[in-house]
Structure 1
């Protein structure tokens, strides 16, 4: 086999070789793997139905072509699995295992199944098994660190097949069919070299070519680097490269020797760019990332990246935008090279430049959606052309394509701990940009993870204000997914942090959210008490619009407990507050609620009068839907008063209003009454201590 993709990240052939890319060799391994799919398992032989999906294991060292073999097997048998192929990588480029919950969530998204943000690992894996229970799917689990990772993701469905790639055995998983890889056969290895060098240089000295294959121990990754070295030196003989590889010393691995030669052949600026790619989040690179890391122009970075692909040092990713991936087998070598040749301060400066560039790109990505904002347009025009997007759609495509790298960059920045200011700016911009393009609901799972990272930094740095903001945001997401008890705990912690920071915004928001959580839990007396505390703060600060809203929330709580007198008093206060602020539509809605409670309290005449006033206000506000709702309420009141004719007139008026109202696009679901999230609030609580420039 030659690998179109070698190792966990893969190394694809480039240039002419990429156009002709064919999977070579590994005929025996493919035959055995396909036979293993058909072979009866231990449960079948014992007369039992297999309880889980069959697992085929492809084991080998990094650079052995294990992922390429897995991909070729998947390509050959994919048509048997009509529900498609799911792929997941179970280790980070540095070898850190990816949390099972994160992998399960990504796989659920691939089958169009959502999971609530903040769900536990067990909940996510259970949801994944349920999603695959009636499907015939093929899972490719690449770069598994251990058996526990694979076992947690196995479907309880014998109609599914799992192809796992790992460095060793998956002890503990029953009936695993292993296939251990060594080097390529000589013929395939020679053909791989031929694709880079052309046939002449191989055929004129076949013994030297065989010697080169032997020096590389027929390992695909080493052969790719050797082919790239020869392709860049058309005047060099194959024997020259074999001789240089021998001179590198037999104690090193073939891959490390080929890698050293490949790096030594690069010009100094390109070699520096290559070393710094070890800092790329999740091993994913685009020209902007490389440009920021190296401090060079975007054009120069793009040229260097394409040259690395031609030399077998990088892999181009199939994407509408130029994107690349550092092969997993080369990542530790790049990391060691950077640590040996670059000072720690230089590496930290490169990380800082990358974070700063990402923040500016996120600013540009968000600003292009704010077409009504003169300030946003001016800020966008003030950015360099290379940082601007031609359209909102192009910005969204960049955000979607770069999402894994952006989230990985946030995780790495927080784990680093030395660039917390930039990490905070990055996370603030990431939250705001994802909300602008995807909406809170669609991005909720990613936002939950980012807010947890913000909380980590805030706790580490003792930033009480940002801690409060992160806890409020996490509490809102918990509340929206029904974890009200967890949300209540976060809101109480946010209240403590807000008080510690002496932040009236955070404390007021937290008190209202605590009240909302109590109301959702059915404790309406406590809800009214907490809303009252929040109200007292708003009144003391002269925040009349917020005070009017809180009067309404107190009235809701009293209505639930049947205290209609208190409810009416608070709704009247809400109406007066909205009248004072000039919010006609809100005043109409409050009058509508006042009329509803008056009806509950057995005061139909007063309810009728309040409804008429609300209709007039709704007409002034131009709120047709509210007018229709109020006409229906008037109809109900007329029926209770024994006037069915008038009730019919109002129902007809409501139908006419709704028929005349043009359909509006569906909006994201609003937080239900009583939840912790204030219905008037922003999608996410701002991290208010960040720079206004962000």
Structure 2
């Protein structure tokens, strides 16, 4: 479980010293935890966790209050889980994504591409025997929270929202207004210093009134005064009073702060509304504003001091746009910056992200002279000092990178950059995390690629995306869903006249039917793929497909057809000079001959396979063949010879283990996931 927190409102009432104000609200919330629920009063056992609701406008300190409540009661629970249910622009985060993040925090595996109901069911099961505390921040709708409530009365859910969560039974609401005067003055003095408040307490109180005790407005006012030591508190209060007819207190203070910034800084601040997921680092700000990384870092730190951003606790410099300020920034950007300038800034940000991803991936290819040369040709600002530094950057920036891909696809006007971004992101994630660990993110990315391919009528990329999604479906046991996508990929491949896509789709359709136990159709589709390979003169692939057809016939009990196809596979491997594949094919042929009731033939084939396995130096296969020879000799009535072969197998296995693991052997079936990271387009190459 995670114990890290970020306040999306940007209001940290407990950041320095003790928590400010909200004493009554905090006391009521703690009492609500102990209070008997409606089910208990009715004599029934509560079926689910209790839900407490903290409701208030963005910037009211609602998250800070929730965090303080969690801090004071956390010792009663096994751990704390946190999740944010909306993006800075107010877009709800899909419940499936939230459930997956919570399962990751619990170290519970979740299959890539699983449906929302499946993920929430796994989450409820994982929390069934726990006493967990869930903080669900920035909820948009009751349905989001309801789907995540554990079926465990010992758990507690603290939800933060802008209003009531109608539809959730027995929810305990706590609605926030402004801070009381004492707490508001203390919050103000933390930024301005206590002297400026104590020497003119009436003006300070007037400023609190103008801000209506709104914490975010007070923080902005305090930051503005802190940056101007000679400015009087009274002057700021008068200025805000003169603009009292223009919007709410937060909007008025923000307009004042923005209006007094230098033009370049104000423009940079407005452009931060384009940052994906509201997460900004110096590279993002640099690309958006068109300035150096050092200048961007300095500007971001200045914004933090003014209360316009807050720094995220992270090994790398990272900042977040407060959720309460995001709509104000976006409105200003739309009003003061031309659409073309905003599009150009977004394009610069995407291009910088592509370069960083490329650098992060290339540094993992340390054995490649071409990769080293490519890395040296990159600007120093986008290079990473080591593969570990590149992986850390990728892990930390992962939420922003995924959000960047989603926004680029949703934009619809930057599809070329979006395709390059997704291609690099997929390849970089696989390079650093591996296929299995990256699978959930790959599923999302391939889905985005499919969206762009369908929108732009790109059948080749559509076929690749469908193949990749189907491979991930197949790996997680959703074979029927995979079959539908493989067939759709075949149609797209034919439309694009792409022999690679059509060949792989036909073979994958056969593999899906094989997994479903429909061996006749599996053999038929493998045969179609084989015909295409033979027509194109692809001998190695054709030899392998003969083996797949033989495997399907073996499963169907058609041993004669299986033997015929294994012999065809053997002939192909022999012509290709593929000694390991020839040895494995002989091993499988011996197995089929044994199934067919021909132990003498199986014995001769197995002995031949042993010789080929020795040539291939495949110790595991050699040991397996020795065991099979022993079993065959036992059935033929020669136990002494069988014992000799078993002893040889034991020695071979001991020799292999002492020499180190060589990894699992390949089978005649292609590795279905080996292409799951592939986005085949003109932008796949660097």
TM bin, normalised by shorter chain, reads: over 0.9
Matched, 1:237 2:260: no
Task: Judge which range, 230-239 or 468-477, deviates more.
Answer: 230-239
Asked if the contact 1:7–1:62 (Cα under 8 Å) also holds between the matched residues in 2, the reply is no
What is the match of residue 520 of structure 1?
515
Moved more, 121-130 or 4-13: 4-13
- Contact between 1:6 and 1:64, CA under 8 Å: does it hold in 2? no
| Residue 320 (structure 2) aligns with | 325
- Structure 1 residues 35 and 666, CA gap change in structure 2 (3 angstroms): farther
In 2, the alpha carbon distance for the partners of 1:243 and 1:158 equals 52
| Cα distance, 1:426 vs structure 2 | 1.0
> Deviation string for 1:456-490 (max 9, x for gaps)?
11111000000000111111111111111111110
- Shift in Å, 1:519: 0.8
Secondary structure (helix, strand or coil) at the match of 2:138 reads strand
1:183-198 to 2 correspondences below 5 Å? 183-198=178-193
Counterpart of 2:174 in 1: which secondary structure?
Answer: strand
Residues 589-623 of structure 1 show CA distances to partners (whole Å, capped at 9, x for unaligned) of: 11111111122222323322322332222222222
1:105 pairs with 2:100 = yes
Residue equivalent to 1:8: 8
Q: How far apart in 2 are the matches of 1:432 and 1:646?
A: 52
Deviation of 1:220 (Å): 0.6
Match of 2:58 in 1: 62
- Looking at structure 1, the residues matched to 149 and 679 of structure 2 have their Cα atoms a distance apart, in angstroms, of 40
Change (3 A) 1:329 1:685: closer
CA distance in 2: counterparts of 1:148 and 1:672, whole angstroms: 47
Q: 1:663 Cα shift? A: 7.3
Deviation at 1:672, TM superposition (A): 9.4
**Would the alpha carbon gap of residues 671 and 85 (structure 1) be closer, same or farther in structure 2, given more than 3 Å must change?**
farther
Q: 1:97 to 1:681 in 2, by over 3 A?
A: closer
> Matched residues in 2 for 1:266 and 1:158: separation?
51
1:547 aligns with 2:539: no
Secondary structure of the corresponding residue to residue 405 of structure 1:
helix
219-228 or 185-194: bigger deviation: 185-194
Residue 8 of structure 2 aligns to a residue whose secondary structure is coil
Could you list the per-position Cα deviations for residues 476-526 of structure 1 after superposition, in whole angstroms to 9, with x for gaps in the alignment? 111111111111110110000000000000000000000011111111111
Q: Does 2:679 align with 1:687?
A: yes
Contact 1:478 1:486 in 2 (8 A): yes
After superposition, the C-alpha distances for 1:409-454 in whole angstroms (9 at most, x for unaligned) are 1111111111111111111111111111111111111111111111
Do the aligned partners of residues 559 and 471 (structure 1) sit closer, same or farther apart at CA in structure 2, a change above 3 Å counting? same
* Comparing 115-124 and 314-323, the one that deviates more: 115-124
Counterparts of 1:45 and 1:437 in 2: how far apart (Å)? 54
Q: Partner residue of 1:24?
A: 20
Structure 1 residues 186 and 383, CA, compared in 2 at 3 Å: closer, same or farther?
same
Residues 478 and 599 (structure 1 numbering): CA distance in 2 closer, same or farther, change over 3 Å? same
Secondary structure at the counterpart of residue 69 of structure 1: helix
Instruction: Give me the TM-score of the superposition, normalised by structure 2.
Output: 0.96
1:220–1:552 Cα change, 3 Å: same
**Matching of residues 505-654 of structure 1 within 5 Å:** 505-654=500-649
SS of the residue aligned with 1:57? strand
Do the aligned partners of 1:285 and 1:323 also contact (CA within 8 Å) in 2? yes
* C-alpha distance in structure 1 between counterparts of 2:661 and 2:424, whole Å: 26
Q: Which moved more, 1:511-520 or 1:100-109?
A: 100-109
- CA RMSD after TM alignment: 2.0
Partner-residue secondary structure (3-state), 1:141:
strand
Give 3-state SS (helix, strand or coil) of 2:437's partner: coil
Instruction: Give the distance between the partners of 1:153 and 1:541, measured in 2 at CA.
Output: 53
| Cα distance, 1:672–1:253 mapped onto 2, change above 3 Å | farther
Of 365-374 and 608-617, deviating more is 608-617
Work out whether residues 6 and 63 of structure 1, in 8 Å CA contact, stay in contact via their aligned partners in 2. Answer: no
**How much does 1:565 deviate?**
1.7
Correspondence 1:339-418 to 2 at 5 A: 339-418=334-413
Matched, 1:457 2:449: no
Note if contact 1:245-1:257 (Cα within 8 Å) is conserved in structure 2.
Answer: yes
**Is the alpha carbon distance of 1:666 and 1:655 closer, same or farther for their aligned partners in structure 2, counting shifts above 3 Å?**
closer
Q: Distance in 2 between matches of 1:639 and 1:669?
A: 28
Which whole-Å CA distance do the structure 1 matches of 2:313 and 2:609 have between them? 58
After superposition, give the CA deviation of every residue in 1:311-336 in whole Å (9 maximum; x if it has no partner): 10001111111111110000000000
1:72 corresponds to which residue?
68
Distance (Å, rounded) in 2 between the aligned partners of 1:680 and 1:517: 10
Tell me, yes or no, if structure 1 residue 52 matches structure 2 residue 70: no
Change (3 A) 1:632 1:669: closer
Counterpart Cα distance in 2 of 1:135 and 1:537: 55
Shift of 1:580: 2.2
Pick from 31, 37, 41: which aligns with 2:37? 41
Give the C-alpha shift of residue 251 in structure 1. 3.3
Contact conserved, 1:424 with 1:690, CA < 8 A, in 2?
A: no
Query: 1:169 — aligned with what?
Result: 164
Q: Is the 8 A contact 2:136 2:158 kept in 1?
A: yes
Asked if the contact 1:58–1:178 (Cα under 8 Å) also holds between the matched residues in 2, the reply is yes
Change (3 A) 1:330 1:685: closer
- Cα gap change, 1:692/1:685 in structure 2, threshold over 3 Å: closer, same or farther? closer
Q: Which moved more, 1:279-288 or 1:623-632?
A: 623-632
Q: Provide closer, same or farther for how the CA distance between residues 127 and 681 of structure 1 changes in structure 2, counting only shifts above 3 A.
A: closer
CA contact (8 A) 2:362 2:371 kept: yes
Match of residue 220 from structure 2: 225
Deviation at 1:284, TM superposition (A): 0.8
Q: TM-score, normalised by structure 1?
A: 0.95
Partners in 2 of 1:119 and 1:155 — Cα distance? 19
**Residue 399 of structure 1 aligns to a residue in which SS?**
helix
TM-aligned CA distance change 1:683 to 1:416, over 3 Å: same
Q: Is 2:477 the partner of 1:485?
A: no
1:5 to partner: Cα distance: 8.9
Contact 2:270/2:329, CA 8 A, preserved across alignment: yes
8 Å CA contact retained: 1:515, 1:529:
yes
- Once residues 647 and 515 of structure 1 are traced to their aligned partners in structure 2, the CA distance between those partners, rounded to angstroms, is 38
Using the TM superposition, name which of 493-502 and 424-433 deviates more: 424-433
Contact 1:12-1:316 at 8 Å conserved across structures: no
The 10-residue stretch of structure 1 (597-606 or 201-210) with the greater mean CA deviation from structure 2: 597-606
Q: After superposing the two structures, state which structure 1 stretch, 444-453 or 504-513, moved more.
A: 444-453
Contact between 1:53 and 1:159, CA under 8 Å: does it hold in 2? yes
SS in structure 1 opposite 2:225?
A: helix
